[in-house]
């Protein structure tokens, strides 16, 4: 019997199909099963809560994966902005929620918007996320992200337990208040849960930009852009009634940088700034930024936008950090 592929169509297509199955097993199915059986979650990671898992479903159903990735490539363009390079352990807790739903495809394939692998670390404010979802242009003027107003409700007045979204007047309704619906709350809970657990035995480099000058100008610019600009804006002008401006702020311009450093390290809430009480909470960055990084971003704010305030050093930051928050002194 000869193998005549030109005349025996069953033999031809049977052979091709058999090769397809074999290659699929070797290239795709086998490695996937090996990773699934041999990969373990990172020690400091945790599973999603029920609300966060519901938010993940909202994230998928609203099409967030079409514009946002959750995979940080091991190249400076990614690691200088989005966190450390992704590792297999980051995805070990992903899995189907039940028999009828496949494993969520959250890695994404296109990065029209920023990577969200560590958005819970970079932007830990739930109010910011709600404003951003309701109307992205309210906090990022040049944003091309679509708004999601159907996740929110406009009420004449908020009821007890409502999550009120302080949308700037220029982007909010003419009457009433904006309240987050249950799907919006779940989605924001999921976004806040997106954090990168530390890799066992890994060490971090303080300044991947290579800046060695005393003020860390390049480092300060990078950190401000990654962690501060979304609220205080790139030009330091803030968002009226929601996030305070840094331009000409007395704390930023003070000769003694202690209070400025305290706010960056330990955060701020419930304080009236130049006659305005802001509804949002500024997070503290003491757990995420080193002394050198805090000094760099403080100096960036004190030397930008026409400011000429004295610079601070990592030793100054270390002293303030050791002293703890003002209410503990």
| pLDDT tens per residue, range 15-45 | 999 999 999 999 998 987 887 778 889 999 9
Diameter of the chain by CA atoms? Answer: 94
**CA pair distance 310, 215, nearest whole angstrom:** 10
CATH classification at residue 173: 1.10.760.10
222-236: average pLDDT: 92
Do 152 and 277 lie in one domain? The reply is: no
**What is the C-alpha to C-alpha distance for residues 88 and 75, in angstroms, rounded to an integer?**
17
Residue 212 has pLDDT above 80, yes or no: no
- Does 5 map to a domain? no
CA distances from 175 to 18, 164, 169, 180, 182 (A): 66, 14, 10, 16, 22
Question: Which residues, in sequence order, are CB contacts of 277 under 8 Å at separation 6+?
Answer: 270, 271
Is the pLDDT at 313 greater than 50? The verdict is yes
Domain presence at residue 59: yes
Residues 309 and 241 in one domain: yes
Q: Is residue 180 part of a domain?
A: yes
- Shared domain for 55 and 172, answered yes or no, is yes
What is the distance, to the nearest Å, from the Cα of residue 38 to the centroid of all Cα atoms in its chain?
28
Give the DSSP H/E element, type plus range, for residue 188: helix 182-193
Cross-strand bridge partners of residue 101 = 98
CA 164 from centre of chain = 21
Q: Confirm if 188 and 133 have CB atoms less than 8 A apart.
A: yes
Residue 178 burial by CB count (10 A; 0-12/13-18/19+): exposed, middle or buried? buried
Residue among 70, 40, 43 at smallest CA distance from 190:
70
Return mean pLDDT, the chain. 89
| Rounded Cα distance, 58 and 113, in Å | 17
Q: How confident is the model at residue 73 (pLDDT cuts 50, 70, 90)?
A: very high
| Nearest partner of 154 among 144, 140, 164, judged by Cα | 164
In terms of domains, do 115 and 239 share one?
no
Q: Is residue 181 part of a domain?
A: yes
74 pLDDT above the threshold of 60? yes
Q: How many domains does the chain have?
A: 2
Does one domain contain both 114 and 244?
A: no
Token code pair at residue 316: 């100054």
* 204: pLDDT strictly greater than 80: no
> Quick check: is 202 in a domain?
no
- Domain membership of residue 8 (yes or no) is no
Q: Which domain does 228 fall in, by range?
A: 217-328
> What are the structure tokens assigned to 94, written together?
């992903």
Q: How many CB atoms within 10 Å of residue 201?
A: 5
Which among 143, 160, 193 is the end of a domain? Answer: 193
Q: For position 158, what pLDDT does the model report?
A: 92
Q: Does 216 have pLDDT greater than 80?
A: no
177 and 56 share one domain: yes
Report whether 283 contacts 124 (CB < 8 A).
Answer: yes
41 part of a folded domain: no
Last residue of a domain, one of 193, 208, 239: 193
Q: Does 3 have pLDDT greater than 80? A: no
Segment 137-156 shows an average pLDDT of 94
**165 and 228, same domain (yes or no):** no
As a whole number, mean pLDDT of residues 178-189 equals: 97
Q: Are 263 and 318 in contact (CB under 8 A)?
A: no
Alpha-carbon span 75 to 68, nearest angstrom: 18
Residues 275 and 165 in one domain: no
What is the torsion angle, in degrees rounded to the nearest 10, for the CA atoms of residue 145, residue 150, residue 151 and residue 152?
110
Same domain, 59 and 181: yes
Domain assignment present for 6: no
Same domain, 63 and 173: yes
Rg (CA), the chain: 25
Query: Helices marked H in 49-149 — which ranges?
Result: 50-61, 76-82, 119-122, 126-134
Residue 79 structure tokens: 């690691």
Residue 327, token pair as written in the block: 């209410």
pLDDT band with cut points at 50, 70 and 90 for residue 208? very low
| φ, ψ of residue 164 in degrees (nearest 5) | -85, 135
| Tokens representing residue 25 in the block | 């097993």
Which of the four pLDDT bands, split at 50, 70 and 90, describes residue 7? Answer: confident
Q: What is the pTM of this model?
A: 0.81
């Amino acid at each position: 019997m000869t193998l005549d592929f030109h005349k025996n169509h069953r033999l031809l297509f049977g052979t091709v199909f058999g090769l397809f199955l074999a290659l699929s097993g070797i290239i795709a199915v086998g490695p996937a099963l090996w990773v699934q059986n041999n990969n373990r979650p990172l020690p400091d990671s945790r599973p999603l809560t029920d609300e966060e898992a519901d938010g993940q479903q909202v994230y998928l159903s609203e099409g967030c994966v079409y514009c946002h990735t959750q995979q940080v490539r091991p190249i400076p363009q990614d690691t200088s902005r989005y966190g450390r390079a992704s590792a297999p352990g980051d995805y070990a807790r992903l899995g189907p929620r039940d028999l009828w739903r496949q494993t969520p495809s959250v890695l994404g394939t296109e990065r029209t918007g920023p990577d969200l692998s560590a958005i819970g670390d970079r932007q830990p404010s739930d109010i910011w996320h709600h404003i951003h979802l309701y109307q992205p242009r309210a906090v990022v003027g040049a944003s091309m992200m679509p708004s999601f107003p159907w996740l929110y409700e406009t009420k004449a007045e908020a009821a007890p337990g409502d999550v009120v979204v302080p949308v700037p007047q220029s982007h909010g309704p003419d009457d009433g208040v904006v309240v987050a619906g249950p799907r919006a709350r779940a989605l924001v809970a999921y976004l806040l849960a997106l954090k990168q657990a530390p890799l066992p035995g890994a060490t971090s480099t303080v300044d991947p930009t290579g800046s060695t000058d005393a003020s860390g100008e390049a480092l300060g610019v990078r950190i401000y852009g990654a962690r501060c600009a979304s609220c205080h804006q790139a030009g330091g002008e803030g968002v009226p009634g929601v996030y305070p401006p840094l331009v000409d702020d007395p704390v930023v311009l003070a000769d003694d940088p202690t209070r400025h450093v305290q706010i960056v390290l330990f955060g701020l809430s419930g304080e009236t700034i130049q006659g305005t009480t802001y509804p949002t909470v500024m997070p503290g960055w003491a757990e995420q930024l080193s002394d050198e990084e805090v000094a760099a971003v403080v100096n960036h704010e004190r030397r930008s936008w026409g400011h000429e305030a004295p610079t601070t050093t990592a030793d100054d930051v270390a002293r303030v950090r050791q002293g703890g928050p003002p209410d503990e002194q």
